[in-house]
Chains A and B, each alone.
Chain A
Amino acid sequence: DAGVIQSPRHEVTEMGQEVTLRCKPISGHDYLFWYRQTMMRGLELLIYFNNNVPIDDSGMPEDRFSAKMPNASFSTLKIQPSEPRDSAVYFCASSLSTGGGETQYFGPGTRLLVL
């Protein structure tokens, strides 16, 4: 199993630019989570999906952030326009709701730097 795949691994962009982060969950998993990690705020849940449907986006910082899951094997997190305070590591995680569904499997993360 390839695990959760995220791309790109590193992204450097300038303030005001659009940034798109991508995630491929583990095949068969029905939950997908997006997190942000910073030194100041630690690990924050931004949004999660169940069967491709967004369930809770209360952690999304503001309207500049949006997330989609067009199918079971792909999700995107978009920031438009980006700001320096968005610099962080963004993680995607997936889980399977049957048989101990609480265990989440994390991707390697996308390290975003907004200049």
Chain B
Amino acid sequence: GDSVTQMEGPVTLSEEAFLTINCTYTATGYPSLFWYVQYPGEGLQLLLKATKADDKGSNKGFEATYRKETTSFHLEKGSVQVSDSAVYFCALSDRMDSSYKLIFGSGTRLLVRP
């Protein structure tokens, strides 16, 4: 079945450091890919998404490129801020399955120190 694998956390960085959170997926169809972010005590918010190969999703300085050849969707940010501290979830929606269900990874906690 479809699945998403994320790098284990927590990831601890200093402010202004470069961030990469790895995400790979397995899907039988041709999925859409997502990054959601969860701030402490809140629900998940869509951060960015990409719906086809080579698409780049971007938002708030974060970017991720849909790489079909490596089945990856790694999240990057050039300079993190303390306010980026949160849990980040990679997810896919397999459009061969018309249910619009999301398959989530286990989440990666990011802690940014001043």
Contact = CB atoms under 8 A, between A and B. Distances in A.
B101 A42 contact: no
Contact of B102 (A42, A104, A109): A104
Contacts of B89: 43
Interface residues of A, number: 24
Nearest to B33: A102
Contact of A48 (B32, B43, B101, B106): B101
A101 B95 CA distance: 10
Contacts of A101: 100
A31 B99 CA distance: 9
A108 B99 contact: no
Contacts, number: 51
Nearest to A56: B99
Contacts of A82: none
Nearest to A111: B41
A106 B89 CA distance: 13
A48 to B, nearest CB: 7
Contacts of B32: 100, 102
A42 B38 CA distance: 13
B44 to A, nearest CB: 4
Given A42-B107, A43-B107, A102 B102 contact: yes
Contacts of B100: 31, 95, 97, 101-102, 104
18 contacts: A4-B43, A31-B100, A45-B102, A91-B43, A91-B44, A95-B100, A97-B100, A100-B51, A102-B34, A102-B95, A102-B102, A104-B46, A104-B102, A106-B36, A106-B45, A107-B43, A108-B42, A109-B42
Given A100-B32, A102-B102, A104-B100, 4 more contacts: A48-B99, A106-B36, A108-B42, A108-B43
